[in-house]
Structure 1
């Protein structure tokens, strides 16, 4: 396919406004400003664009949920936290092509009637923060931001905000609390951000890749965009391949591409060692085995196969990897990142980690496995936000496919994958 989201990445100084404009940048904005805002929202609806942050909710529909204008402010907040393990598509986008995000943000704000946009970037990504901040300054100097943009009468300011590196702030309402200066914790919904979001005003929260897709849709049209991908998941997508692959990285392909096809592009499994399992959308999505190599990587097809497309973070593990070890590592992360607001997640992740430490060090029992399955089942669907589900998922999905590996560890048929002394550094 002809690249859409990544087509400028290899251009000289692709991050500069000069390079962006020379490759057609900001032409979509000029076009968008000549039509009524509602036309833009309708175009995005017709394109079938679905949120690229994990949930896959229809983007244009999300914009249309904002209540009628009441004379007060409304906001666009861009979730650039990107904390899901294995996910690494948004930071490269902002590094290589920040103006695609900025142009998409301006068009989106015009469509929803917002004069203020906040881009919330993970604080550890200092290089990314600097690049996007510089791009915003370039856009303002060129007249694409500020008052009366391109003589349209539309005003907009964009602020780049640095988060403090909390996984929970990838959850949209925790992100909003963090933007407001509070501790990042999820809010009770309803009300949803579309009604009472940032500063209790109507707010749209979208992912970087979602917003960066908007200029291409405005330029190419909805029919062109729907010519890629599947009927229910149209368009192109950046797939993040990591783990035991020959050439890990970002691979743009139509929605519905399979992992088998992506592995061909990536040079196959590293060293020729066969694939054992993989995540279709980051560690919070149920794992797949080689039996799912040909499942189309679209929202509906992956769901039908028993997992979630999530952020399309395809972590590939070969046959040398211990599944209990991988699950333990993921659970240590979720325990550390739990915000502590609700009991199932706060307490449950701690219990799961304690049991997993016993299992991987060879000190577990078969009863421990039953306890772990029961605890994970009680966390899933009962926590305040999706972090609890994310922590339970590796347990439940690995038991579905690889419970025998856990049983072999606790019965002594296989040697411990971690020594007790090594666990001291995990606390």
Structure 2
């Protein structure tokens, strides 16, 4: 593709998709028909440059309408936003869900990640490709069905593995989920999405639904997720009213005293982050909710957004009030169509009822939420990469300092939390910090959500207090006989043996055991799962998801995959040399990578070698 403005013209459909987002162009400099006035002066450039952050939504608009992004469409979008085509091309090719090459309007994404691989995703893909007449290894092209089949990383449907997501471009774009997928159901979702079975309710992903002792999941399966009145009848917006009674400083003090720490894996104290942002004199302040959970095995944020969306709206409002933010961004995974629908509806209803907008509950506080969709990039779960993505750049992490609380989104002080962290603020305020801190342990307070999948009879999201053991959690999920290993923390986590189920599920307990709690992924694998191929899939995941910005990660993830491929394909002995190479490469990635992706890419493989004897 030419990386300069060229002569390619957008189709009427592509132009309509961009104009629906940006409005009609005002001059020929933006793509309108040329007039005499346009020959004398240029108009709108400064305003267009200020809308650079609409590049990602613009790419989504074209991809949703047509199914791929042509040179003409990209050229037109660049003119509208005065973005250099080379930069826009770099953004468009950064995300797995976009294509800059022609493809059918319908794309069937079939998950081949850990839980789905263990559930037979390989055979499922082969069956689908055979049924649709597509060519394996070519992005699913070559058939006569008008469907592109793409082998995808985790779709966040691990409790219903194996999973497939069909996306049919058009106005509007249509989606259909098949999970657990069979060849027949996946083909039906791709060829006739309107006839595909409806997704089961979010309550199906919560085996504990209806348990009155639950704190974070108590409304799922009890309250109608689309009814604001039902949400309020079940205690909704009591926390926001208490926040207004306490004032911003009081809210931060309550969150600090509760001991709440981030639930995304870093476990940074939430109150300290909020206080650091609130105290910054630079304005405006921003709030970002990170709902881009792309860690294989993670789906708790999806379940909350689908089953209790108003809780997230309320929690974001409280966080904004405490930190002095008047604009919030919800960065939502592109693979979550139902969560997107539920959150859009909840935000619209809250705005209509005066719970978002210029004067929330008559308190004189203004706050609103804008949803930004991701497009398939695991690295955007890192907070600074997420900021770059929202701003219209490639989702590449930034060096720290400065830290986001000082210079974050758009160079302004920003507080970033994930969905689970934010919804924990609601019980902190309704029950009080001392009562909340009494749940769990002294250093890991409150309840924790765990995503349990793999070789268990009742996969789903479980809520247990910090301090419960791994064995107790797996007993709730009905772990199967023949358990060989458990992966804690997802692909960036570590394996533990079947005889280590007494590990307490706390940040300090897992650290002492030489593993990590991460974001709450618990994947059980029995002795039918080929461990070497599972490790190879983890290495392939990190190779694909590396942003390529730093050499240790860009090269190291490739070398790791190459070594594991040699070990898997080799017959007989001789793995010692490759294992030594893996240790050297893993150490370099851990010490020298810019962000957590490269720093943790070796963790699971290392633990499998050292704790499980994977290649003995």
Q: Taking structure 2 as the reference length, what is the TM-score of the superposition?
A: 0.64
In structure 1, runs of 5+ residues without a counterpart are 408-427
Report what 1:9 is aligned to: 220
Deviation at 1:282, TM superposition (A): 1.4
Structure 2 residue aligned with 1:179, among 368, 386, 390?
A: 390
Asked if the contact 1:373–1:395 (Cα under 8 Å) also holds between the matched residues in 2, the reply is no
Match of 1:282 in 2: 490
Whole-Å separation in 2 of the counterparts to 1:186 and 1:253 = 33
Q: In structure 1, what is the equivalent of residue 615 of structure 2? A: 406
- Which of 583, 596, 607 is residue 386 of structure 1 equivalent to? 596
Cα distance between partner residues in 2 of 1:366 and 1:233: 40
Deviation at 1:358, TM superposition (A): 1.4
Where does structure 2 lack aligned partners over 5 or more consecutive residues? 1-211
Other structure's SS at 1:14 match: coil
341, 352, 360: which one aligns with 1:149: 360
Secondary structure of the 1:354 match is helix
* Offset at residue 14 of structure 1 (A): 2.8
* Whole-angstrom CA distance in 2 between matches of 1:26 and 1:185: 36
Q: Deviations over 1:208-260 (max 9, x none)?
A: 00001111111110111112111100101111101001111111110111121
Please give the residue correspondences for 1:99-110 in structure 2 after superposition, counting only pairs within 5 Å. 99-110=310-321
Residue 572 of structure 2 corresponds to residue 371 of structure 1? no
1:160 corresponds to 2:371: yes
- From 279, 292, 307, the equivalent of 2:515 is 307
2:229, 2:443 → 1: CA distance?
36
The two structures, once aligned, show a CA RMSD in angstroms of: 1.4
Shift of 1:16: 2.3
The 5 Å alignment of 1:19-418 reads 19-66=230-277, 68-70=279-281, 72-269=283-480, 272-273=481-482, 275-362=483-570, 365-403=575-613, 405-407=614-616
Q: Is the 8 A contact 1:4 1:236 kept in 2?
A: yes
Instruction: Tell me the residue number matched to 2:104.
Output: none
State which drifts further: 10-19 or 233-242.
10-19
1:158-186 deviation per Cα after TM superposition (whole angstroms, max 9, x unaligned): 11110111000000000000011111000
- When normalised by structure 1's length, the TM-score is 0.92
Contact 1:280 1:297 in 2 (8 A): no
Higher normalized contact order (CA 8 Å, seq sep 6+, divided by chain length): 1
- In the TM superposition, residue 318 of structure 1 has moved relative to its aligned partner by 1.1
User: CA separation of 1:123/1:229 partners in 2, compared to 1, >3 Å: closer, same or farther?
Assistant: same
C-alpha distance in 1 between matches for 2:227 and 2:544: 38
Q: SS of the counterpart of 2:468?
A: coil
- CA distance in structure 2 between the partners assigned to 1:12 and 1:61 by the alignment: 33
**In the TM superposition, what is the alpha-carbon distance from 1:34 to its structure 2 partner?**
2.0
> For the pair shown, which has the larger CA radius of gyration, 1 or 2?
2
> Between Structure 1 and Structure 2, how many residues are aligned?
403
Instruction: Say which SS state the counterpart of residue 495 (structure 2) adopts.
Output: coil
Cα deviation for residue 83 of structure 1 reads 0.5
